[in-house]
Amino acid sequence: MRAGLSAALMSAMFAAQAAPAAVDLDQVVVTATRTAQTQDATLAAVTVIDRAEIERLQPASLPDLLRGTPGASLANNGGPGKSTSLFLRGTESDHVLVLVDGIKLGSATSGGASLQDIPVEQIERVEIVRGPFSSLYGSEAIGGVIQIFTRRPQGPFVPNFSASIGSNRTHRASAGVAGKGERAWYSINAAHEDTDGINACRGKPSPGGAGCFTHSPDRDGYRNSSLTAQGGYRFNERWDAQARVFRAQGNNQYDGSQNNQADTVQQVFGAKLGYRPSDRVALSFNAGQSQDLSDNYKDGRYSSTFDTRRRLGSVQGDFSFGSNVFSGGFDWQRDEVESNTRYARDRRILRGAFGQWQGDFGAQSLQASLRRDDDSQFGGQTTGSVLWGWDFTDRLRVTASYGTAFKAPTFNELYYPGYGNPDLSPETSRSFELGLRGTFGEQRKQVWSVNAYQTRIDDMIAYDASIGLPGNVDRSLIRGVEAVLDTRVAQWDLRASATWLDPRNDSRSSYNDHLLPRRARRSARIDLDRRFELGAASALSLGASVYAAGERYDDLANTRRLGGYALTDLRLGYAFDQAWSLQLSANNLFDRHYETAAFYNQPGRNYLLTLRYRPAR
């Protein structure tokens, strides 16, 4: 089935960067294989969040949208715009590869991606693929891959507009226009957010300090202005080209003893040339750049700059042979650092060659991939994965997989003055997974799944007291189970997920068998929504979300406990025209006080009122 589908969708092989006219993205997943396939054909554990769901859930930010997705645990340092870490399947926060329209995003110095700086109004779709995928993408994809697709056209000419006002003097606005024709398509969207925020940290100054190591009981505001512009053109049946740019520029105020304000920029450029000589062959040539820029201040006075730039290029070909599809390609990446802090080395080059084979054998499917990466800093690394699926019945699939992955050391870990260790090796992992997925209902649109997995990570980088520098001295063993249900009950749409996690330190140290910090061992989310048609052009929608997370620890010694908590969000929408709607959300309805990182506050009860204009497709 997969090979036939891939041939039929070959023109959309790179749907992550393809013209929307080529394929309905609501039905296609590209991140799990770097080729187009329907979501029900994927062998990996995948969660997809489209634009309709984003507008229905009304999340305040991208981290809020990701909160409660299977396997995900987040730690936020004090509210809107503040540093947010995502732990996927219990792995480290820098063990998740983040892509924006196919371009790798993140800081080469700190290693993480600033998810909090990507406005939800710029997002068309998010694909979350869980499990090891270094064999397709290289470094960082130990816990999984998150790919964010910016807004795409849904018709010949589709404008959009929204304006919001809410608690903590929050103001938001967005506007855009998009369209597609027989050969060309374009999309332009701008957004702005401004909030006074909350007091980010209740830290304790030194001596005996904790948290942000300062006492500053004021509101810590956040501003973000963003723009996406993209377009594409199909010259003929064989050739097409496209280009895109995304830029988010922010100002973040926070509590800290060294710095308490930052001007940030997240920026992505990308271009692609596609060539399809036949229905069975497709080639793609991609080039791009991502930037993570930060100027830091203390009480308005400049203190430091940390700018990282990644230049990227890739070539990929897909070849269909009967019931098989082979994909092969080459990736190139150059990381550069500019800072007022002098690094021993400020650039490196990474090269990777990969091959993947997908095939169907009656009721069974197989996906196998192998990749070799070469890093100018530490040398070579080989990773591979095998995924197998068996359609036990036409409504039940069994899956199993094994994969290896790695994460290259960051520039801070390698070269930061007085701290870095240039002799570090990459962190490596081995993962096993078993899954069961089923459908029910008349049209098989109701879905459930259960996945159990184990990941062992070796050579983890941590402080090595014997040398007084970072070293490859830690190990971890992570076991988990994820369950997902998507169904309809008495005309209510019900989506539920639950995660059971056991993330253990497995190193030869006093922390052996301790829980890894900031990962909740148990978490669950339920979304319940219903739409009431009131007339030919009006409708009322009601919804609620409940998210619960168990206790966790904030430190390796498991002495600083963070209590469990439950959050309830309510939402109301009124469409008084086919294009115009009014939405009201009440978040943390019961005003729960909780922390996802010790000493860092989280928003209490808050509201947001949104006027939205979006013509029906």
Highest mean pLDDT of the ranges 107-116, 153-162, 583-592: 583-592
pLDDT digits (tens, 9 = 90+) for 484-527: 999 999 899 999 999 999 999 999 888 999 999 999 999 999 99
pLDDT digits (tens, 9 = 90+) for 362-401: 999 999 999 999 999 888 999 999 999 999 998 999 999 9
What DSSP letter does each residue of 428-459 carry, written as one string? EEEEEEEEEEEEESTTS-EEEEEEEEEEEEEE
Highest mean pLDDT of the ranges 108-117, 203-212, 584-593: 584-593
Could you state, in order of their start, the residue ranges of all structural domains in the chain? 2-613
CA distances (Å), 280 to each of 314, 325, 450, in order?
A: 20, 9, 34
Q: Which residue has the higher pLDDT, 22 or 230?
A: 230
Q: Return the pLDDT at 536.
A: 82
If phi over 0 gives left and psi between -120 and 50 gives alpha, with beta otherwise, what is residue 606? beta
Collapsing DSSP states into helix, strand and coil, what is residue 217?
Answer: coil
Alpha-carbon dihedral sign for residues 484, 486, 490, 492: positive
> What is the model's pTM?
0.94
Q: pLDDT at residue 575 above 90? A: yes
Chain position carrying tokens 């509101």: 219
Q: Return the pLDDT at 9.
A: 35
Question: What band does 7 get if pLDDT is binned at 50, 70 and 90?
Answer: very low
Record: fold of 2-613: Maltoporin; Chain A (2.40.170)
Average of pLDDT values for 118-139?
Answer: 96
Percent of the chain with pLDDT over 90: 86
Q: Return the pLDDT at 617.
A: 65
CA distances (Å), 337 to each of 42, 102, 268, 461, in order?
A: 37, 22, 16, 21
User: Is the distance from CB of 214 to CB of 205 less than 8 angstroms?
Assistant: yes
Q: Return the pLDDT at 293.
A: 97
pLDDT digits (tens, 9 = 90+) for 263-307: 999 999 999 999 999 999 999 999 999 999 999 999 999 999 999
Q: pLDDT at residue 10 above 50? A: no
Q: pLDDT at residue 16 above 90? A: no
Compute how many other C-beta atoms are within 10 angstroms of the C-beta atom of residue 467: 11
Q: Which residue has the higher pLDDT, 614 or 525?
A: 525
Beta bridge partners of 275: 239, 283
Q: Return the pLDDT at 322.
A: 85
Mean pLDDT of the chain: 92
